[in-house]
Amino acid sequence: MSAYLLTVFASLCGLSIVTRVLPFVLGQHLAKSPRVRYVGKKLPAYIMLLLVIYEIDPGTFAHWPYAIPALLSVAVVILMQVRCRQVLLSLVVGAGAYIALLKLFTT
């Protein structure tokens, strides 16, 4: 591997370590604050929805098929989960719907 690639990926390894250890280094006194604990407790629900949006990618709304397969599959997953509360079932049906819709809309 070239020196260039080695430098790039050694730096990125460092970046992963620093960004992930950071909250714990700062956290020694952060953890005592009730505000940080409140945010830490509430944050997962917010992050999950942000990750859903991130995975769908807002960029796909701009052109055909306008994220329609993703949005329809999202509706399927929500419906399945609210109705049946079976995690794996929701995932399998949701992903199946997405794969089928993607084929339908892009070919």
Partner 1 sequence: MMMSSEVKLAFRLSIPTLFAYGPLGMVFSILWLQAGFPGYAAPLISLTTYAGAVQFLALSMVQEHASVFSIVLAASFIALRNSFYGLSFIERFKTKPRWLRGFLMFGLVDATYAILAANPKSEQQNDNAFCFYVTLFPCLYWVGGSIIGSLLYQYLPVINGIEFILTAFFLVLVVEYYLAGRDKWSLVMPLLFSFVAYALFPKEYLLLAIIACVVFLTLQFKCIKQSENLS
Which residues form the interface with partner 1 (CB under 8 A)? Answer: 1, 4-5, 7-13, 15-17, 19-24, 27, 30-31, 34-56, 58-59, 69-70, 73-74, 77-78, 81-82, 87-88, 90-91, 94-95, 98-99, 102-103, 106
Give the integer Cα–Cα distance in Å for 90 and 85: 8
C-beta closer to partner 1: residue 21 or 66: 21
Minimum CB–partner distance for residue 66 and partner 1 (Å): 15
How far apart, in whole angstroms, are the C-alpha atoms of residue 56 and residue 75? 13
* Smallest distance from partner 1 to CB 21, Å: 5
| Size of the chain in residues | 107
The nearest distance, CB 65 to partner 1, in angstroms, is 12
For 29, 31, 41, 44, the CA distances from 34, given in Å and listed in that order, are 11, 8, 10, 17
CB atoms within 10 A of CB 17: 10
